[in-house]
Amino acid sequence: MRSLDALPKAHLHLHLTGAMRHATLVELAGRHGIRLPPALTEDWPPQLSGIDERGWFRFQRLYDMARSVLRTPADLRRLLAEIAQDERAEGSGWLEIQVDPDGYAARFGGITAALEHQLEGAAEARAATGVGIGVIVAANRTKHPLEARTLARLAAQYAGHGVTGFGLSNDERRGPPHDFARAFRIAEQAGLLLVPHGGELAGPASVAACLDDLHADRIGHGVRAAEDPALVKRLAAEGVTCEVCPSSNVALGVAASPAQVPLRQLLEAGVPVALGADDPLLFGPRLIAQYEIARHAHGFSDPELADLARTAVLSSTAPEPVRARLLAGIDDWLFSA
């Protein structure tokens, strides 16, 4: 059985704060005098649920508490350096990290300064580790659509300078996609990849709206599309990649067990799928664990796992030399020994 950490990969669904090491969270909290709740200390990883508003509110409160330990530019640089180190250790040669500059604006001098700190940290991490990093600016769908437009204009300003995509995150049961269509047109005109969340906490209609209203190039999660055969056929026909995150689906109650995540169902219907870890700080498992779920819970063979890795690379914004290197490495992994 081939080692999964030796399989070259691209990681397309990871949130900045949610990628923090637990030890770093605890250390920074102590340094800045922040008292963390038991769910982020002795009871970590927390028991979560997202299937009702109360459960999602608790998840979001824990996420905001974790983000509060990032107080200085040095904290952000450390976070990004450690993320890149962890990615390299798991065989990931390209990462697309989602950031919401608005969530850091109050402590870092506004959304522009916050994004610039994040881009600088990403560039330093890339230079130190060799892991390519593209930044996806993600708007919060629980806030006013005007704020999303502001973020889209900011993302467009840095297109080609570290920002590669524009997304939409948080509870999809609030903030329907059509409310954010104008923000996505701004990002689209700037040539950014369009990568909203959909089909996780809400059903297939959420995915269809991301396609129709937001012109999504990829869908964050998208697993609820499996409930609508016609929508699955559309995703396959249009080649829209779903960023499936099995561990977070189980943790939030979207699926009862790893085996019930419709991973094989989507793939067998022709839908491109890339695996992601989402928020390992809150869910526990990182990227390798998602491939282990595919191998052990869904019975994926090594050629099928290699296909998953290829899809992630081909669905990414990685520059051509990085793509070629990763794709050649996947072939080497599969055909050597």
**Tokens coding 334:** 């599969």
What is the pLDDT, as a whole number, of residue 337?
61
d(CA 162, CA 17): 18
Q: Using a pLDDT cut of 70, give the percent of the chain over it.
A: 99
Closest alpha carbon to 87 in 302, 276, 314: 276
Q: Which residues of 145-166 are buried (b: 16+ CB within 10 A; e: fewer)?
A: beebbbbbebbbebbeebbbbb
pTM, to two decimals: 0.96
Judge whether residue 42 has pLDDT over 90.
no
pLDDT of residue 52: 65
Please give the angle made by the CA atoms of 207, 164 and 180, to the nearest 5 degrees: 40
Quote the pLDDT of residue 53.
64
* Residue 50 reports pLDDT greater than 70: no
Q: pLDDT for 81-127, tens place per residue? A: 999 999 999 999 999 999 999 999 999 999 999 999 999 999 999 99
Please identify which of the residues 200, 227, 238, 268 carries the catalytic annotation: 200
Averaged confidence pLDDT in the chain: 95
> Looking at residue 277, what is its pLDDT?
98
pLDDT digits (tens, 9 = 90+) for 255-296: 999 999 999 999 999 999 999 999 999 999 999 999 999 999
Residue-wise pLDDT for 7-38, tens only, equals 999 999 999 999 999 999 999 999 999 999 99
Annotation says 200 is catalytic: yes
Query: CA 213 to CA 309: how far, in whole Å?
Result: 29
pLDDT at 330 over 90: yes
* Residue 181 CB coordination number (10 Å): 17
pLDDT value for 75: 97
Q: How far is CA 223 from CA 113, 238, 272, in A?
A: 35, 16, 12
Q: State both tokens at 303.
A: 């050629």
